[in-house]
Amino acid sequence: MNITKGTISDKAASTAALSASSRILIVTAVDAEKDAILRGLGDHAAAQFDVIAAGVGPASAAAGTAAALAFASAAARELAHGKAAPEELDAAQGTAASSGPGPVAGTGARSSAYGLVISAGIGGGFPGRADVGSLVVADAMVAADLGSQTPDGFLSVDELGFGSSRVAADAVLAARLRHELQRAGLAVSGGTAVTVSTATGTAQTAAELLRRVPDAAAEGMEGFGVATAAQQFGLPVLELRGISNAVGPRDRDAWRIKDALDALQAASSILREVITS
């Protein structure tokens, strides 16, 4: 049984029109990805977007996302109940940002709660589905290695009855973003983004991932963690990947990290108009 057909996550409401006051949280793994996105957003970055580098892997991604969302929720409650003025919340945010390294530092959450969370970064593309240098806007995020090995093969957490390894992306926004990226002349694919804790480095592992997730298009290490945190806060989520390498045998000489970051920057330059229109 493959793990692309989860049940609990397909109920996410569409955010066809986000509130003008809703901020959008973009979560990357590392600063290079964060910087590419900020370059793409340009002067619009501070207006509605907060971009953080939460760390590598699903655990860091989930923890960093949850921390940023919790801070924003608390700030919004304080403001709504008149317990703090916007400038006081800004000062509190500045204190958090200067207190040391960590995912909350520099979130810029201020006084508005978030309306959307985006996991973004570079990653692997499955050959024939997402070419190196292209983009993937995922339809769903799947924790492809969350489960158990058995004598008969891998069983997903879904098959074990311990929950779901799948979170659906916001279908309307994902489709709209892919459409606008294509209109801008960028190569972009849909499909599932698989999240793993160990990046694929062999043809055998790539084939096994496709057996588990037949519509897999991209591989990353953070998407499901970000999506799980967003889901806990009742927020819609997207995953955007710039493809730096083919999923399969590890070949560092063939990686095109700059091209993937450039694609991520180009996509980010279109993001504001798509998400907030």
Q: Quick one: pLDDT at residue 155?
A: 85
Give the CATH number of the domain where residue 85 resides. 3.40.50.1580
Per-residue tokens: 137: 């806007």
Q: Quick one: pLDDT at residue 3?
A: 46
CA pair distance 259, 238, nearest whole angstrom: 21
CA pair distance 196, 224, nearest whole angstrom: 9
Reported as type and span, the H/E element at residue 149 is strand 147-150
In a domain, 11, yes or no: no
Which residues, listed in sequence order, are joined to residue 150 by a DSSP beta bridge? 153
In a domain, 12, yes or no: no
In a domain, 5, yes or no: no
In a domain, 3, yes or no: no
Cβ(222)–Cβ(54) under 8 Å?
Answer: yes
Q: Quick one: pLDDT at residue 95?
A: 34
Q: Quick one: pLDDT at residue 197?
A: 94
The count of structural domains within the chain is 1
Own/partner pairs for 31-34, CB < 8 Å, 24+ apart? 32/257, 32/261, 33/120, 33/121, 33/122, 33/261, 33/264
Q: Which domain holds residue 226?
A: 23-276
In a domain, 15, yes or no: no
Reported as type and span, the H/E element at residue 194 is strand 192-195
Q: Quick one: pLDDT at residue 91?
A: 42
In a domain, 9, yes or no: no
In a domain, 29, yes or no: yes
Residues ≥6 apart with Cβ < 8 Å to 170: 12, 14, 15, 116, 236, 237, 238
pLDDT in tens, the chain (277 residues): 344 444 334 434 444 445 555 789 999 999 999 999 999 999 867 778 999 999 999 999 999 999 999 988 776 666 666 655 454 444 444 333 333 334 443 344 333 478 999 999 999 999 999 999 999 999 999 999 998 999 988 988 888 889 889 999 999 999 999 999 999 999 999 999 999 999 999 999 999 999 999 999 999 999 999 999 999 999 999 999 999 999 999 998 899 999 999 999 999 999 878 876 6
In a domain, 44, yes or no: yes
Angle at the Cα of 158 (from 155 to 159), degrees rounded to 5? 45
In this structure, how many other beta carbons lie within 10 angstroms of the beta carbon of residue 6?
Answer: 19
